[in-house]
Amino acid sequence: AQTVTQSQPEMSVQEAETVTLSCTYDTSESDYYLFWYKQPPSRQMILVIRQEAYKQQNATENRFSVNFQKAAKSFSLKISDSQLGDAAMYFCAYRSRGGGSEKLVFGKGTKLTVNP
């Protein structure tokens, strides 16, 4: 079974600075999807960014970008110009593309604090 590991339970960053959240995953498959979700104190889960494994180019969404290292099975999230509204729990998730599996497997999350 696939597993997703977020090794940093908590991180902090100064406002306007850059922070990187790490995520590694374990899979024997070659084709899959990866996601980052944000959960602010409101509890709502919000999709931040997604990456298709067969695409070499790293995904970007405004101030959010990923560093996807397929061989290393690593999928880190970089937040540039951090804002107070970025404070949240961040979850990394994996989805296999094959075998009819539609399930997302989540990591345990990283709590990001943004200091003014």
Partner 1 sequence: NAGVTQTPKFQVLKTGQSMTLQCAQDMNHEYMSWYRQDPGMGLRLIHYSVGAGITDQGEVPNGYNVSRSTTEDFPLRLLSAAPSQTSVYFCASSYLPVNYGYTFGSGTRLTVV
List contacts with partner 1 (CB under 8 A).
4, 9, 33, 35, 37, 42-45, 47, 50, 91, 93, 95, 97, 102-104, 106-109
Tell me the C-alpha distance between 2 and 52, whole Å: 16
Q: How far is the CB of 16 from partner 1 (least distance, A)?
A: 29
Which is closer to partner 1, CB of 33 or CB of 64? Answer: 33
Distance, CA of 3 to chain centre: 14
Q: How far is the CB of 29 from partner 1 (least distance, A)?
A: 14
Residue 42 neighbours by CB under 8 Å, 6+ apart: none
Tell me the C-alpha distance between 58 and 4, whole Å: 19
Long-range contact set of residues 51-54: C-beta below 8 Å, sequence gap at least 24: 51/75, 53/97, 54/30
Q: How far is the CB of 104 from partner 1 (least distance, A)?
A: 6
Which is closer to partner 1, CB of 16 or CB of 47? Answer: 47
Which is closer to partner 1, CB of 81 or CB of 108? Answer: 108
Which is closer to partner 1, CB of 61 or CB of 81? Answer: 61
